[in-house]
Amino acid sequence: MDIQIRDATEADLPAIVDIYNQSIPAGWSTADTKPVTVADRVEWFRKFDPVRRPLWVAEVDGQVVAWAGLTSFYAGRPAYDATAEVSMYIATAYHRRGIGRQLKQWVIEQCPRLGVTTLLSMHFDHNEATRKINESLGFQQVGHLTEIAVVQGHKRGLVISALRIPAQSAPAG
């Protein structure tokens, strides 16, 4: 499926929140159990930064159908500046059309210019789609915290996967 990816703007926030909320009932992607509002997410949105930790949206025919974002690891401690966590959400109606894999591949390609050399992906251990995408893109599972969350009454484990990305070399001359 043909997608266009661009930096998100605050005008995209209603679509971003709507897509996020669509994932809550399935209970396999987010630890939130109640829908979030646009107001809840304004501060969150403003912490993204196109230069280091962007939030992107993917459009199909001019409609936002997915988003992906990078956040700093370990509350932004400086020693981990080159490490970021990727999160992504696809509108339910657009699942299983290859958008998740395409979007994550695109995020990986942006990492060198963002100074990210370790990309982390954290997901519940029953999130089969994310596991498949990560495996196919070269992520290695580096941790599995079993029974660390309770979602809709079920104990869930968290898988941590990492992808090492070569640093961008300085331009010659």
Ligand X SMILES: CC(C)(COP(=O)(O)OP(=O)(O)OC[C@H]1O[C@@H](n2cnc3c(N)ncnc32)[C@H](O)[C@@H]1OP(=O)(O)O)[C@@H](O)C(=O)NCCC(=O)NCCS
Q: Give contact residues for ligand X (rule: CB under 6 A).
A: 23, 29, 87-90, 95-101, 123, 127-130, 132-133, 136
Specify the residue, 149 or 167, whose C-beta has the smaller distance to ligand X: 149
Burial 138-156 (b: 16+ CB within 10 A, else e): ebeeeeeeeeeeebeeeeb
Q: How far is the CB of 144 from ligand X (least distance, A)?
A: 15
Specify the residue, 67 or 114, whose C-beta has the smaller distance to ligand X: 67
Q: How far is the CB of 170 from ligand X (least distance, A)?
A: 32
CA 10/CA 63 separation, integer angstroms: 15
Six-digit token pair at 57? Answer: 């949206």
Specify the residue, 13 or 99, whose C-beta has the smaller distance to ligand X: 99
* E-state strands within the chain: 4-7, 55-60, 63-72, 83-90, 118-124, 140-151, 154-164
Write out the H or E segment, with its range, that includes residue 134. helix 128-136
Q: How far is the CB of 153 from ligand X (least distance, A)?
A: 19
Q: Which residue has the closest beta carbon to ligand X? A: 100
Specify the residue, 90 or 111, whose C-beta has the smaller distance to ligand X: 90
CA 168/CA 148 separation, integer angstroms: 36
Q: How far is the CB of 134 from ligand X (least distance, A)?
A: 10
